[in-house]
Amino acid sequence: MADLPADRLSTEPPFTNVGLDVFGPWSVSSRRTRGGLAQSKRWAVLFTCMSVRAVHIEVIESLDTSSFINALRRFLAIRGPVKHIRSDRGTNFVSACKELKIPSNINNSSVERFLLDQGCTWMFNPPHASHMGGSWERMIGVARKILDSMFLQLGTSKLTHEALSTLMAEVAAIINARPLIPVSTDPDDPLILTPATLLTQKVSLPSAPVCDQVKDLHKNQWRQVQHLAQTFWNKWKKQYLSSLQPRRKWQSSQPDLQCGSIVLLKDDQLKRNEWPLGLITQVFPSKDSRVRKVEIKVSRKDGIKTLLRPITEIVLLLAPETKP
């Protein structure tokens, strides 16, 4: 495996180096006709910051070069100038690169003047090398999987272009609120590092979208969008956030320890046959009602002592007799 590219480790402002790709399509109601509603397709361009891992989503009406250039110009107007762009060799990407006269690794000779003026380059990955765009393909894969399952469950959607654009803004906000590293259990380190924190410099967690009234969603588009955003949020928590902190051990369920159990107290400073015996006097269930720490009474040379220990530091010898 090769080393990370330099733009992945850059400390420049967010969205200075980006990777992008298009995903979709989805059907929307473009206009009303005498026979009902005319359906059109929409796609989305996902821009990923290579350093802070934030995303920005723009909705486009077609896969042609003009539509993509408009989305790119909207992105640049909001996020500022970009120094380096990475993507696959999509036809619309290559054409847009030539139309905007951005130097690339395809043909650099004719556009050197634009490089001097703008300082922007476009790097295209080789064909059949999607793994080289893993930093943004991962985000697209998760978002696409959740959105496709949502629309499959909802059936034929009557979203409009405006509603779909609002939904994509909600999706981008949910993705940017994900923790970049496993959440620390240290009380002295309460800050959760997220892309949204780096973008907005705000440490407060965004509230999840809420839509209590599920009926009559077709009457109010904003309720429909909030319902879809709530569905995306629920699936995001179950399918993606759980993968940030995999549980590699203690996966099998064991009976909880009870008061009155006789246990062996582990002590790394003593030999195993010298570990002291103890009696569990109190158990402390966690929020999920599972016992993970107990209070043990141990007899030592200097008297009887009460110790607080996790269950990983004790060995159960004899459980109390259960009454019929």
List the structure tokens of 74: 């909207």
Is 303 domain-assigned? yes
- Shared domain check, 156 and 190: yes
- Shared domain check, 300 and 203: no
- Shared domain check, 31 and 81: yes
**What is the edge-to-edge ordering of all strands in the sheet holding 84-87?**
55-60, 36-49, 17-33, 84-87, 121-124
204 close to 226: Cβ distance less than 8 angstroms: no
244, 273, 295 - which closes a domain: 244
- Shared domain check, 141 and 234: yes
Is 147 domain-assigned? yes
- Shared domain check, 154 and 72: yes
Q: Distance of CA 305 to CAs 82, 103, 271, 281, 308, Å?
A: 65, 74, 20, 12, 10
pLDDT in tens, the chain (324 residues): 556 778 877 788 889 999 988 888 888 887 766 666 777 888 999 999 988 888 999 999 988 888 888 888 899 899 988 888 888 877 777 777 777 766 665 444 443 444 445 577 888 877 666 767 777 888 888 888 878 777 776 655 567 888 888 888 888 888 888 887 766 666 666 677 788 888 887 765 555 555 555 555 555 666 777 777 777 777 767 766 666 556 677 777 788 888 999 998 888 888 878 888 899 999 988 877 888 888 899 887 788 888 888 888 888 888 887 544
244, 275, 293 - which closes a domain: 244
- Shared domain check, 280 and 227: no
Query: 25-33 long-range contacts, Cβ below 8 Å, gap at least 24?
Result: 26/147, 26/151, 26/157, 26/159, 26/164, 27/156, 27/157, 27/159, 28/157, 28/159, 28/160, 28/161, 28/163, 28/164, 29/158, 29/159, 29/160, 30/160, 30/161
Q: Per the structure, how many domains does the chain have?
A: 2
Is 21 domain-assigned? yes
- Shared domain check, 240 and 276: no
- Shared domain check, 280 and 238: no
Is 257 domain-assigned? no
Is 253 domain-assigned? no
User: Does residue 317 sit in helix, strand or coil?
Assistant: strand
Is 250 domain-assigned? no
Task: State the residue range of the domain holding 269.
Answer: 262-318
